[in-house]
Structure 1
């Protein structure tokens, strides 16, 4: 059974930049212990015959063929622009 002490909880809270009161520290401690106990159970499983990685669905790329096509008219795209220069949107300079 995994045991986590108050110092561990305070250290984790410090790393996570959490300001916890005593009740929250106690609750977090209990939750972390539950998680560690579950991980301990998982570690006890026999995984000798299990491959390192396994996917339920077959792996494969389902890519479509790239086809160049003109979908938009430049004038239609720019007609609502506040400012434009030639065939481009004109926007404020951002540094």
Structure 2
């Protein structure tokens, strides 16, 4: 198992701006060490003859031909809006600029 220390977990948590109970650092260190051990084991495999795959199961292309269709008019697009003005949505101000 890869050794991850309590201090390493706290260091990376600080870099990632994560906060957790310091008592959990030891558990996280063991769990991360276990994950890294599995990754190291996978890295030992010779995968040269394994083709790269995007999907496990065969997939049909999800693409379709572009088709020009009429879009919604302003009245229809704004029909369910709670508040409008001059063909625009009105929304409450959420950013206070000082």
- Give TM-score scaled by structure 2 length: 0.65
Q: Superposed, which structure 2 residues align to 1:53-92 within 5 Å?
A: 53-56=52-55, 57-58=58-59, 60=61, 62-69=63-70, 72=72, 74-78=74-78, 82-85=83-86, 88-89=87-88, 91=90
Cα RMSD of the aligned pairs, angstroms, is: 3.2
C-alpha distance after superposition, 1:53-74 (max 9, x if no partner): 223335745124322225x565
Listed as ranges, the gaps of 5+ residues in structure 2 are none
Q: Which has the higher helix share?
A: 1
* 1:30 counterpart = 2:30: yes
Are the structure 2 counterparts of residues 15 and 68 from structure 1 closer, same or farther at C-alpha, using a change threshold of 3 Å?
same
Larger Rg: 1
Q: TM-score, normalised by structure 1?
A: 0.66
